[in-house]
Amino acid sequence: MSAARVKRGAGPRSKMTKATYRKKALRFLLKDFEGRCAYCLDPGEFRHPSQTQVDHFNCKLRERQRHQYKNLMLACSACNLSKHDKPIVNPLDKEQRLLNCTEENEFPEHIVELEDGQWEPKTKAGEYHLESIGLRESCHRQKRYARKRIAEQILNLCSTAIQYRTFNPAEVHNQMMDTLRALLSHLDNFPPLVVEDGVLSPREWLNARGVDVSVLQVAPA
């Protein structure tokens, strides 16, 4: 078994109860999980952390063990809701279980990412985990695809920009346009901009500021 993906510290020193665990554990969880959801890895909700984002990995444990630090996970509301009170092991098939990222690494032992951003199970545990937490929902897949596209665009642009001094300014221009296109399509996944003249999509907003976005529509030949 590979090393745990998340290195968990000791957590709060004092005992936690139903009334206190969220408040006491949150700042330790934010640090240990590096501000990312234990399940979908999304950092979005933790930029403004709230105490609702604490999940009990095994919610069937008795009161005392339930609120122990080692049973608490940082989880976004989507994952927390999907997971709800699902058993950590399927009683009908012990191989079907949730993956605990503080004890093992889900990637790539149990789950791999495909080209289109979809997460694919490699084991029964991986499959149960993905299904139980809804990690194959299209909203997750699209977000992963968008971040990968942008990372690749940035990589290409960096490589080209580094070579810029020696050759081909036209290539640098094309790479920049590619990157702008990718960023703009990513921006389309966010709520539109709210400005003095109302609600504008990113494209309308750019147009209103004198940028002819039609130059971004077509990829160069």
**Least Å distance between CB 179 and Zn ion?**
27
- Kindly report the number of other CB atoms within 10 A of residue 199's CB atom: 11
Side chain identity at residue 195, one-letter code:
V
Amino acid at site 91: P
Minimum CB distance to Zn ion, residue 24 (Å): 22
Minimum CB distance to Zn ion smaller for 102 or for 153: 102
CB neighbour list of residue 191: distance below 8 Å, 6 or more residues apart: none
Element containing residue 54 per DSSP (H, E): strand 54-56
Choose between 81 and 199: whose C-beta lies nearer to Zn ion. 81
Nearer to Zn ion, 143 or 181 (CB): 143
Provide, rounded to whole angstroms, the least separation between the CB of residue 41 and Zn ion: 7
Tell the smallest beta-carbon distance from residue 23 to Zn ion (Å). 21
Name which of 143 and 203 has its Cβ closer to Zn ion: 143
- Would you say 39 or 119 has its CB closer to Zn ion? 39
CA–CA distance, 94 with 163 (Å, rounded to integer): 54
Round to whole Å and give the CA distance between 172 and 164: 7
Q: How far is the CB of 193 from Zn ion (least distance, A)?
A: 26
Q: How far apart are CA 54 and CA 33, in angstroms?
A: 11
- Chain-centroid distance of CA 4 in Å reads 18
In the complex with Zn ion, which residue's Cβ is closer, 101 or 182?
A: 101
CA pair distance 164, 176, nearest whole angstrom: 12
**Where do we find the tokens 């094309």?**
174
Closest approach of Zn ion to the CB of residue 170, in Å: 42
Please report, as ranges, the residues that interact with Zn ion according to CB under 5 A: 37, 39-40, 76, 79
